Amino acid sequence: MPAPRRPLIAGNWKMNGLGAEAEALATDLARRTWAVGAPAFELVLCPPFTLVARVAAAVAGSGIAVGGQDCHTEEKGAHTGDVSAAMLADLGCSFVIVGHSERRADHGEDDTLVKAKAEAALAAGLRAIVCIGETEAERHGGRTLATVAGQLDASLPVGAGAANTVVAYEPVWAIGSGLTPSAEEIQEVHAHIRGELAKRLGTDEAGGIRILYGGSVKPENAAALLTLADVDGGLIGGASLDAGGFWSIAESCV
């Protein structure tokens, strides 16, 4: 029997936030979590590297996890400006996003590099959130399922399983655009991803892996998009910068 999948709501703050506002946002979410006790969903906040330590301190003891937005493939060395998975773990992170489309586009990251980063994350004891998703041209060309299957196959780390890997499906054209696929389209892609995971890892393991949807999720559409059969939570960008909105998205998932 596949393990039940606890919904995961991840806030990707991207390059946003300075100390005081970040601390206020994290503290607000920690208070809401304490007030509920043991929420049915799991929250992870992924602030910029500069804020990881402050956010980790603000949510300590609340059950909210902290993640990085990227990591290097190596544990340490001569890589100016980079941050390793071990460094993130050292700061209190338990997750890291790898292969976000903004990194693929802005920094030329390909599937091979994303896979290596995900493997570095696992080696450091972090859980990897591996991002995949088609462009607008790929969708219009009818290549959505083939694109995400190809990215998944080439980006998934060796050793991936339900305990250490999360997949995030983020159509590139839906990010920050206010556009989303229909609920039926999202479910179709997620079911396809789970089927591909099952081919590789077996049905039980694939049945336990959380597959998040990301791209223009807001409090208004969260219930419709994040409660589909193969959708196990969301990777939230803009709407994660508001505590009330982010919390309401999380509550919509259960």
Residues that are catalytic: 100, 170
The DSSP H or E segment spanning 146 is: helix 144-155
Contact flags string 81-100 toward ligand 13P, x per CB under 6 A: -------------------x
**CA count, 13 A, side-chain hemisphere, 136:** 6
Contact flags string 220-249 toward ligand 13P, x per CB under 6 A: ---------------xxxxx----------
CB of residue 195 to ligand 13P, shortest distance in Å? 23
Q: Are the C-beta atoms of 47 and 55 separated by less than 8 Å?
A: yes
Handedness of CA 81, 86, 90, 92 (dihedral sign): positive
User: For residues 132-191, which are near ligand 13P according to CB under 6 A?
Assistant: 170, 175-176
Q: Give the total of residues touching ligand 13P (CB under 6 A).
A: 14
CB of residue 4 to ligand 13P, shortest distance in Å? 25
CB of residue 106 to ligand 13P, shortest distance in Å? 12
Query: Looking at 44, 66, 130, 217, which residue binds ligand 13P (CB under 6 A)?
Result: 217
Contact flags string 9-28 toward ligand 13P, x per CB under 6 A: ---x----------------
C-beta neighbour count of 66 within 10 angstroms: 27
CB of residue 5 to ligand 13P, shortest distance in Å? 19
Residues 254, 239: Cα–Cα separation, whole Å: 18
Q: Which residue is nearest to ligand 13P (CB)?
A: 237
Q: Are the C-beta atoms of 45 and 237 separated by less than 8 Å?
A: no
Nearest to ligand 13P of 201, 249 (CB atom): 249
Pairing relation of β-strands 210-214 and 65-68?
unpaired
What three-state secondary structure class fits 106? Answer: helix
Residues 128, 119: Cα–Cα separation, whole Å: 8
Q: Give the binding site for ligand 13P (CB under 6 A).
A: 12, 100, 170, 175-176, 214-217, 235-239
